[in-house]
Amino acid sequence: MMEDRNQGLWFHPPAKQPNQINPVVLAYLGDAVFEMMVRQYLIAQPNHKSNHLHRLATGFVSAKAQCALLERWQPLLTEQEADIVRRGRNAKSGAPPKNANLADYRQATALECLVGYLYYEKQTERLRELMAVAFDEPAAAIGKFEEDNR
C-alpha cells in the first residue's frame, strides 16, 4: 500500500475533531507551529547569524508581540476563527511567565489556539495569509481571502 505523499507534516491525526480539542492543547500545538513558521521566515532572510535569528524570533513569539499581532488579525478573522480565539483566550492555562502580564498571556494563548486549530484543520493557505500580516508581507493573499468571504 502506497503512503499518501501529500500529507505534509500531519503524521498523526488528532484523536478528536479540532473543534473538540481543549483550547490549551490547541495552543500547545499552535505555539510550536507558530514558532516554526517564524523560524522559516527568518531563515529566508539574508542574515543567518544565530544570535541575530534568536533576537528577531523573540520579537515575534513573546506574549506581548503575539497579543499585538492578534489585534491586527482580529478584523480579518471569520466568525468561526473568532470563536476559536475566544475559546483560547478564556481557557485556564496557568500562570503567565514572569515577563508577561496576564492579559497579554491570554491573548497569546488565543493566537496560539487559532494557529493550532488551523494547522489541524490543514488550512495552510489561511495560516500563510495570517502570517503574511505578521511579517508585513504584501497583502495580495489577504485581499483574495476578503474577496472570497464577501
- Is-contact 117 26, C-beta < 8 A? yes
Q: Taking the domains of the chain in order of start, what are their residue ranges?
A: 21-148
Between residues 6 and 81, the one the model is more confident about: 81
Classified as helix, coil or strand, 131 is helix
Quick: pLDDT tens for 89-140: 999 877 777 777 889 999 999 999 999 999 999 999 999 999 999 998 755 4
3.40.50.1110, 1.10.1520.10, 1.20.140.160, 3.30.70.3040: CATH of 21-148: 1.10.1520.10
Q: Does 101 or 75 have the greater pLDDT score?
A: 75
Name the 3-class secondary structure at 136.
Answer: coil
Residue 52: Cβ within 10 Å count? 12
**Is 136 among the residues known to form the active site?**
no
pLDDT value at residue 8: 65
Query: How high is the pLDDT of residue 6?
Result: 54
| Chain mean position to CA 7 | 20
For 74, phi then psi, to 5°, come to -45, -50
- Total residue length of the chain: 150
Identified catalytic residue from 31, 83, 104, 136: 31
